[in-house]
Amino acid sequence: MADRRGWPRSVRARTTLLATLVSAVALVLGSVLLLLTLDRSLHNAGDDLARSRVADLAAAAAAGRLPHPPSVGDNGVAQVFSDDGRVLTASPNITGSPPITRPARKATPTMRVLHGAADDKEKENYRVWVARADSQDGPVTVVAGASIESVGEASRTLQRDLLVGVPLLVLLVAAGTWLVVGRTLRPVEDIRAEVAGIGDADLGRRVPVPATGDEVGRLALTMNEMLVRLEDASRRQREFVADASHELQSPVTALRTQLEVSLATGEDDWPAAARRMLGNTDQMERLVRDLLFLARTTGDPAPHQRSLLDLDDVTLEEAARVRTRSDVRVDTSRVSAAPVRGDADELRRLVRNLLENAVRHATSVVHLDLRAVDGVAVLDVTDDGPGVAAENRDRVFDRFFTADGARRRGSGSGLGLAIARSVAVRHAGTLELVGDDGSGAHFRLTLPATGPEG
């Protein structure tokens, strides 16, 4: 198959076609250059030999020792004649012929091309060098050169060889490229076939990794790393849905039970029953709100709305709100100015979750310590409750994790601390559980004092 531009869609075919075209163009240009170089080299060699023969014959004429006939080879020609047209000596192929060119006027050899000159009983084209020389009988013209046809024969022989060799080389390049590219792309096809067969229930499968260590091998490794992330994300999504369903089922079941009991007992005081049910609906509302927040912010690395706000104002406002709903004392005497930049609603939710968690587990008091140190806002939230058990310290920020004691008290969905840490990370900060000596939990929030611009 081919695309709209006529190119084949297969990478193997496109690569082979491109390599074949490039090699064909390169070989054709190289062949033309080779023929031109050969032709020029043969002419230059013939010219050097002809000038040398002209010099030798001129010297022999001056000494009165002209050879009869001069040695010029099978394709050469030589002749010495006087100004009156008398031939003094000539090569065997033009013996008995009149002068093959007009007399020379200069002692410096000059090149002439002779068309239709005598060559035994035939006619020939010569490339000759002509010079005027002195002899014992007077001025003479010395001629030496070679047949143009000899150079053409060598060029034509090479041309015939190239007409056979170049196509063969192009075919070899095409076949070699087809085989090499096919062998190189075979692992890619294996990877594609394996990935095509992976479904939602097969995320544990992995693509084969070739032992080549090249780009294809790195592609396979990257693909397997992606499959690991997908498998982990799918597992966490299933756990999240299962946990959310379980957490939602509890208040819904409790609400249904209260309604059934009220109906079965014929209760007339429905306002009192509604007040009892409000606790379950409030719990369910908080859980749904937290789930919506997690769904909206999951995969979003940073808040979209940023503004400069005072974290101390937010902390004091949330502390005042918590005091109206709990008998636990909230100490804010060590809250000082700490400006940060970020999403006001998200940061308020972060502080609220920390405070509600601390109040929920505290025995009598929660201490807040907010300060700005070296460009970092630090908020410490400490309660005097039982603290966090050693086996739960690594799980306290997990979604839906709730300690057994807290669950028995019927409070919390296990999302508050997970959301708080998510907000902190989205604002380029941290939230961690620091030293716990068994006398209470101590959470520390750190945020850039002015926040990242954006």
pLDDT tens figures, 103-155? 988 889 999 988 887 777 778 888 899 999 988 888 999 999 888 887 778 88
Residue with the larger pLDDT of the pair 414 and 2: 414
Tell me, what amino acid is at 451? G
Percent of the chain with pLDDT over 90: 26
Mean pLDDT score, 396-417: 63
Mean pLDDT score, 286-312: 77
| Sequence-distant (≥ 6) Cβ neighbours of residue 200 within 8 angstroms | 234
Mean pLDDT score, 409-435: 80
pLDDT band at 267 (very low <50, low <70, confident <90, very high): low
Confidence at residue 410, expressed as pLDDT on a 0 to 100 scale: 42
Mean pLDDT score, 26-49: 89
Greatest mean pLDDT among 226-240, 344-358, 429-443 lies in: 344-358
Helix (H) or strand (E) holding 141: strand 138-147
Q: What contacts 24+ positions apart, CB below 8 Å, involve 408-417?
A: 409/360, 411/360, 412/357, 412/360, 413/247, 413/283, 413/286, 413/287, 413/290, 414/243, 414/247, 415/287, 415/290, 415/291, 415/294, 416/290, 416/353, 416/354, 416/356, 416/357, 417/353, 417/354, 417/357, 417/443
Confidence at residue 29, expressed as pLDDT on a 0 to 100 scale: 94
Dihedral-angle region of residue 329 (phi above 0 means left; psi in -120 to 50 means alpha; beta otherwise): beta
Confidence at residue 407, expressed as pLDDT on a 0 to 100 scale: 38
Helix (H) or strand (E) holding 216: helix 215-265
**Quick one: CA torsion of 86, 88, 91, 95, rounded to 10 degrees?**
50
What SS3 state is found at 43?
helix
Instruction: State yes or no: pLDDT of 304 exceeds 60.
Output: yes
Confidence at residue 366, expressed as pLDDT on a 0 to 100 scale: 93
Confidence at residue 263, expressed as pLDDT on a 0 to 100 scale: 77
Confidence at residue 4, expressed as pLDDT on a 0 to 100 scale: 54
Confidence at residue 437, expressed as pLDDT on a 0 to 100 scale: 57
Confidence at residue 409, expressed as pLDDT on a 0 to 100 scale: 40
Q: How far apart are CA 366 and CA 358, in angstroms?
A: 7
Confidence at residue 268, expressed as pLDDT on a 0 to 100 scale: 65
pLDDT band at 246 (very low <50, low <70, confident <90, very high): low
* Average pLDDT of the chain, as a whole number: 83
Instruction: State yes or no: pLDDT of 163 exceeds 70.
Output: yes
Name residue, tokens 């959301």: 419
Q: Which domains does the chain have, with CATH numbers?
A: 62-150 (3.30.450), 215-296 (1.10.287.130), 304-448 (3.30.565.10)
**Quick one: CA torsion of 166, 167, 172, 178, rounded to 10 degrees?**
130
Instruction: State yes or no: pLDDT of 76 exceeds 80.
Output: yes
Confidence at residue 146, expressed as pLDDT on a 0 to 100 scale: 87
pLDDT band at 406 (very low <50, low <70, confident <90, very high): very low
Percent of the chain with pLDDT over 70: 90
